[in-house]
Amino acid sequence: DPSGAPLAGPFILYLRAEGRHIRFDIRDEVDTELAQFYMALGPLRRVMRDYFHVCDTYYDAIRTKSPSQIQAIDMGRRALHNEGADILRDRLDGKVSTDEMTSRRLFTLICVLQTR
């Protein structure tokens, strides 16, 4: 909202990977554009790379490792996921307001967009 007042949802969000950026296209229920902006992925690159590596390790571990080893890997995966969500929430500050669970979901979607 130009006045700075928060808008009430629900919202439709379109995400698009464009080079080293993610385009956020936020719309209302009738698909009217409310906001559109780009976010550079640079600050998320390291945590995404580490997250992908731990996910690969986790999928390998579930076939061969003990439950305690799998749990340790999963705890590391969750910590990286939380770190990515925190970075994302900080990067979105001033553009959109998100809670912890929403930023976790957005981090997941952005990771999926990077795994072509």
Give DSSP secondary structure letters for 53-84: HHHHHHHHHHHHS-HHHHHHHHHHHHHHHHHH
CA distances from 16 to 20, 23, 31, 40, 110 (A): 11, 5, 16, 12, 9
What is the average pLDDT across 83-88?
A: 98
Burial label, 60 (beta-carbon count in 10 A; 0-12, 13-18, 19+): exposed
**Average pLDDT of the segment spanning 13-33:** 95
Share of the chain above pLDDT 90, in %: 85
Whole-number pLDDT of residue 17: 94
| Strand bridging mode 12-18 / 21-27 | antiparallel
- pLDDT surpassing 90 at residue 4: no
**Confidence (pLDDT) at 115:** 81
Whether residue 2 is predicted with pLDDT greater than 70 in this model: the reply is no
Q: Which two tokens stand for residue 46?
A: 């390291």
pLDDT (mean) for 59-70:
94
Find, among 89, 91, 69, the residue nearest to 81 by Cα.
89
pLDDT over 70 at 22, yes or no = yes
32 vs 5 pLDDT, higher one: 32
